[in-house]
Amino acid sequence: MIGSYSGKLLSALLRSCVRRPWPLIHGQILHANFLKVGFFPSHPSVSNALFHMYAAVGLPSEALLAFRHHVTSPTTLDFTALLSAYLRSSLPYETLRIFFFSHSNNSCPLPDGVTMTVVFTAAAKLTDLTSGILAHLIVVKRGVVLGVVARNSAMDMYVKCAAMVDARKMFDEIEESERSVVSWSVLLWGVLKWDGLICGKEVFDKMAMKNQVAWSLMASAYIENGLPKKAMEILTEMAGVSDDNLNHISVCSLLSACALVGDVTVVRWVHAYVVKVRMLVLNQEHDDWDNDASIMVGSSLIDVYAKCGRIEIARRLFEKMAVKNIVTWNTMLSGLALHGLVNETERLFSQMITNQIVPDDISFVGLLSAYSRSGHMKSDWKCFHKLMTDHGVTPKMEHYACIVDGLGRAGRLVEAEALVKEMPFRPNEVILGSLISSCCLYGKVEMGRRMMEELLHLDPHNTEYHILMSNMYASSGNQCKANNLRQGLKNRGFRKVPGVSYISIDRCIHRFSAGDKSHPQTPEVYAMLDEMIFRLSSATGYPTSPTTRDAEEEEREEALFSHSERLALAFGLISTKPGTPLHIFKNIRICRNCHAVIKLVSDLYQREITVRDRNRFHCFKLGFCSCLDYW
DNA sequence: ATAGGGTTAG
């Protein structure tokens, strides 16, 4: 029957498939019918349409097959469509491979600006400067003319690869009248990221046209640099000058910056904003709003509240959201896990199942990390394995990492190591690092040494675990080996990541490092610290001296008595009214000693203190911590 | 066939 149609009609039919709701099904039925009647290879226009159908619906390998077999003399447009299909399916590596391979083979048509845009974008995604430069050389050598869009994408490639000299050169080469708002925002992104806030602000001020992207980039940069007040100024300025309001992407970008630094100042403003402009609608009373955007913004808010220590607000928001997707559920799961709330995480997971939400691999990372962070390794790996495969999820390295961490921290090191040997991957640095920390915790020097050796093959420059190993040697009485490790690090010029704590008081973020004396209120802070230590030791007889010895002599004196979180805590106590809850943010894990001190302070000074460290939240109240001393 | 900021984990 199909044989009676003309080639023109069939190709039109195929092209129309791309725009239908189920393009693939219709297109494939047509494809199958062509094959059945032996019709299609002889008609170039039909086979070309078939290739474009597969490219457009995002099936790159099907498109490649059709391209190879049926597109006899590809045009630039065909070739570009093929590359773009790979890029849109998040396969930037394949995109580059096909481009360079065909190019070296002389089997591709001369690329144009659009082709190069796709190639530069792929190199940018991979931060592959070598490929980017190579592509640029091909442009020059073959005399390809680049329009402003292609130049912007090349600039973005240089920016993402930290090659700011080349990026600026490209920017300068674009005629001033040609420069688009995208040229400017690409430059702004790079300058903010690589040259810092001050230089970025200069670029921002030079921008004649500012849009959502520019405003939110600038505001996010202020947030990430601990200047939420400045971010608010930018946002209010935006509202006054521009009719361009924030869209859901700008909102997510701002909120993720807030999540990074753990400050809620801007979050509150954004929350009010999205409710006001009805970007976030909790109940479905109208259908004239953007469902996807609302879910995305809602999930983003849940995430940021959880990461800023406001888990109750996050939970309330989650419950109020009438429409959710898998990301919303996963965000809530990992938020609860971050706070060590195992039972709640478990409950939410079963609620997910009863609501017929199909959990994905990230849901399981959430659930498993709740177990590992709380030390509640109730079931063994076999049960989890079954649970996962029952829901169609294949266990990945991350899942093993959670279990290994949980077993190790619970002192079940033999089981942990057995699991590592049994898993179908070679352990990565996350897994080995977790085992080393557990060995440290339980003084298993010999096993720690073995793991360390394996880790050094993968990551010879790792500083963190050298320090851990050195501490382990020190506490097992082998001061000599400990010093050797430290000295080796020092000789190679590696330094320990310094611990930094932040506390937000009255919309300003105050930063403290260990032994820090740079804060304007340093005398008051240290006076408070002394008072704190005095009250603690007289009230409890608590020994405030270190339990693990720090081999670096100059650090030993000050470090433990003035760890950054204690300074932040002292500052918080003198800067707020009695009873005000305090939120502290720390870049590395909290140490046992400080943990003990903060527990006592929460009781003696009647304060709720929330500390976010690199691993999880600790909520201190009346002398107890929500982690129940397990982390 | 084409550029910039974006939610979940490790």
What φ, ψ does residue A547 adopt, rounded to 5°? Answer: -95, -35
Q: Is the CB of A126 under 7 A from strand B?
A: no
Nucleotide B9: closest residue by CA–C1' = A362
Who contacts A373 (Cβ-Cβ below 8 Å, separation ≥6)? Answer: A337, A338, A340, A406, A615, A616, A627, A631
At residue A476, does pLDDT exceed 80? no
At residue A305, does pLDDT exceed 60? yes
Q: Is the CB of A213 under 7 A from strand B?
A: yes
At residue A554, does pLDDT exceed 80? no
Q: Is the CB of A95 under 7 A from strand B?
A: no
Mean pLDDT of A462-490: 73
**pLDDT tens-digit series, residues A222-268:** 999 888 899 999 999 998 887 778 999 999 999 999 998 888 889 99
The two tokens of residue A320 are 């109020």
Give the pLDDT score at A542.
Answer: 56
Q: Is the CB of A76 under 7 A from strand B?
A: yes
Å from the A360 CA to the B6 C1': 21
Give chain A's end-to-end CA distance (angstroms, integer): 70
3-state secondary structure A332-388: HHHHHHHCCCHHHHHHHHHHHHHCCCCCCHHHHHHHHHHHHHHCCCCCCHHHHHHHH
User: Among A63-67, A218-222, A354-358, A509-513, where is mean pLDDT lowest?
Assistant: A509-513
Closest nucleotide to A428: CA versus each C1': B10
Give the pLDDT score at A327.
Answer: 96
At residue A540, does pLDDT exceed 90? no
Q: Is the CB of A600 under 7 A from strand B?
A: no
**pLDDT tens-digit series, residues A117-160:** 999 999 999 999 999 999 999 999 999 999 999 999 999 999 99
Mean pLDDT of A568-593: 89
Give the pLDDT score at A495.
Answer: 59
CA distance A438 to A415: 12
Give the pLDDT score at A504.
Answer: 85
At residue A184, does pLDDT exceed 90? yes
**Higher per-residue confidence, A370 vs A493:** A370
**pLDDT tens-digit series, residues A10-51:** 666 656 655 555 555 555 655 655 555 555 445 666 778 888
Å from the A364 CA to the B5 C1': 30
Give the pLDDT score at A8.
Answer: 62
Split at pLDDT 50, 70, 90, the class of A550 is very low
Q: Is the CB of A250 under 7 A from strand B?
A: yes
How far is the CA of A616 from the CAs of A133, A339, A439, A486, A613, in angstroms? 41, 6, 20, 28, 6
Which bases on strand B have an atom closer than 7 Å to a protein beta carbon?
A: 1-10
Q: Is the CB of A331 under 7 A from strand B?
A: yes
Find residue A509's DSSP bridge partners: A504
Amino acid identity of residue A288, one-letter, is D
Find residue A624's DSSP bridge partners: A621
- On average, the pLDDT of chain A sits at 85
Give the pLDDT score at A406.
Answer: 87
Provide, rounded to the nearest whole percent, the portion of chain A with pLDDT above 90: 45
- Asked whether A420 and A435 are in contact (CB, 8 A), the reply is yes
User: Among A304-318, A433-447, A486-500, A578-592, where is mean pLDDT lowest?
Assistant: A486-500
Split at pLDDT 50, 70, 90, the class of A289 is low
Å from the A142 CA to the B1 C1': 20
The domain ranges of chain A are: 2-124, 500-625
At residue A429, does pLDDT exceed 80? yes
Strand B within 7 Å of which CB atoms in A 358-397? 361-362, 365-366, 369
Strand B within 7 Å of which CB atoms in A 449-488? none
Q: Is the CB of A112 under 7 A from strand B?
A: yes
At residue A546, does pLDDT exceed 50? no
At residue A409, does pLDDT exceed 70? yes
How far is the CA of A599 from the CAs of A47, A189, A337, A574, A619, in angstroms? 72, 42, 21, 18, 9
Give the pLDDT score at A32.
Answer: 58
Closest nucleotide to A56: CA versus each C1': B1
Å from the A119 CA to the B7 C1': 27
Give the pLDDT score at A551.
Answer: 44
Give the pLDDT score at A241.
Answer: 83
At residue A511, does pLDDT exceed 70? yes
**Higher per-residue confidence, A95 vs A46:** A95
Nucleotide B2: closest residue by CA–C1' = A114
Split at pLDDT 50, 70, 90, the class of A2 is very low
Closest nucleotide to A159: CA versus each C1': B4
Closest nucleotide to A369: CA versus each C1': B9
Report DSSP state, residue A561.
T
Mean pLDDT of A374-403: 85
